[in-house]
């Protein structure tokens, strides 16, 4: 027999150990009656231990997991994602508690509606993080490798993990947009009452605009994914189209930021002329504007390159 079709001894031993462990785990699970309640204390202790171990293993485990290709690597990768999921669940629990406490304080007037909205948003974002990590763990369990993020990733056992993750991302963006729109309304009221400046209002407007752009980009990427899965767009073109969407989003975001930076600079110039601000503040604002302009030029160059590649494919 050709040697390359012989399994490695280390693999044979590792899989045998895994088979034996699985057998004992399954046997133990079948012996435990389902109605027996889990001990909360032991569960909490196990969770705390798991987190401590995960923190201790830290970067080493993660970086090793990235290299995991073999069967042994799969186990390591699954464990790493399981630990991340456990940590995300803890963050969710904490965010829920904070949100509840803020709601109680808001009811007695000790916290503002905006603070409460922010806390609710943070809780929802923590929920999406848990859901997203659960999806990644499911994918790692099925494939044994890092979750595929690119638009041209194939389905895994009939499941479209890429679209599911993007849909979750869209939900998070939608919720963030709703919160920012509420903040904008509040800021407009404050501005009308002379309680905030035009610059504050502009900053929130830019934030809303950025979230709208991100949401629209996510929708377009989902559409490209659908076309790829329906085979109306090939993998190479789908990847390029997603890069194009990302680059366009970046150009739009940076353009809005430049407008904001210019307005801020003008405001600082006025304040410097009447002695309300230092010339150093003006220099800082100018540098910020130039940096953003440079980033925009780079993003425009990237976009032009991607568009040229798309055109070349079409020829």
Which stretches of the chain bind other proteins, using CB under 8 A?
Answer: 1-2, 4-8, 11-12, 15-16, 18-20, 22-24, 26-27, 30, 69-71, 74, 144, 154-157, 235, 313, 315
Minimum distance of other proteins from residue 109's CB (angstroms): 57
Q: By C-alpha distance, which of 174, 165, 186, 176 is closest to 120? A: 176
Torsional sign, CA 25, 31, 35, 41? negative
- Ramachandran area for residue 157 (φ above 0: left; ψ -120 to 50: alpha; else beta): left
Minimum distance of other proteins from residue 125's CB (angstroms): 32
Report the residue number, 23 or 46, with the smaller CB distance to other proteins.
23
Report the residue number, 2 or 38, with the smaller CB distance to other proteins.
2
Report the residue number, 154 or 219, with the smaller CB distance to other proteins.
154
Minimum distance of other proteins from residue 9's CB (angstroms): 11
Report the residue number, 68 or 206, with the smaller CB distance to other proteins.
68
Give the CA count within 13 Å in the CB-facing half-sphere of 92.
Answer: 16
In the chain the beta strands, taken as DSSP E runs, fall at none
Q: Taking the CB of residue 24, how many other CB atoms lie within 10 A of it?
A: 9
Minimum distance of other proteins from residue 23's CB (angstroms): 5
Report the residue number, 4 or 193, with the smaller CB distance to other proteins.
4
Burial class (CB in 10 A: 0-12, 13-18, 19+), 64: middle
Minimum distance of other proteins from residue 155's CB (angstroms): 6
């Amino acid at each position: 027999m050709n040697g390359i079709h012989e399994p490695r001894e280390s693999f044979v031993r590792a899989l045998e150990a895994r088979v034996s462990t699985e057998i004992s785990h399954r046997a133990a699970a079948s012996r435990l009656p389902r109605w027996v309640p889990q001990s909360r204390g032991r569960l909490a202790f196990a969770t705390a231990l798991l987190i401590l171990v995960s923190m201790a293993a830290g970067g080493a485990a993660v970086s090793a997991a990235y290299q995991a290709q073999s069967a042994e690597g799969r186990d390591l990768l699954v464990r790493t994602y399981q630990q991340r999921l456990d940590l995300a669940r803890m963050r969710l629990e904490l965010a829920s508690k904070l949100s509840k406490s803020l709601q109680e304080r808001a009811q007695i007037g000790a916290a503002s509606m905006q603070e409460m909205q922010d806390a609710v948003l943070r809780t929802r974002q923590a929920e999406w993080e848990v859901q997203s990590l659960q999806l990644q763990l499911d994918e790692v369990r099925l494939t044994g490798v890092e979750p595929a993020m690119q638009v041209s990733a194939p389905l895994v056992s009939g499941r479209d993990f890429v679209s599911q993750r993007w849909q979750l991302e869209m939900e998070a963006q939608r919720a963030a947009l709703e919160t920012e729109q509420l903040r904008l309304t509040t800021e407009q009221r404050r501005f009308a009452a002379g309680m905030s400046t035009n610059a504050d209002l502009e900053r929130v407007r830019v934030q809303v605009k950025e979230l709208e752009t991100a949401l629209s980009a996510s929708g377009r990427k989902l559409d490209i994914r659908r076309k790829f899965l329906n085979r109306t767009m090939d993998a190479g073109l789908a990847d390029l189209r997603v890069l194009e969407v990302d680059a366009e989003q970046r150009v739009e975001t940076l353009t809005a930021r430049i407008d904001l930076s210019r307005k801020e600079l003008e405001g600082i110039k006025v304040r410097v002329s009447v002695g309300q601000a230092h010339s150093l503040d003006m220099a800082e604002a100018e540098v910020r504007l130039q940096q953003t302009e440079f980033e925009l030029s780079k993003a425009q160059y990237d976009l032009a390159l991607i568009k040229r590649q798309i055109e070349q494919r079409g020829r």
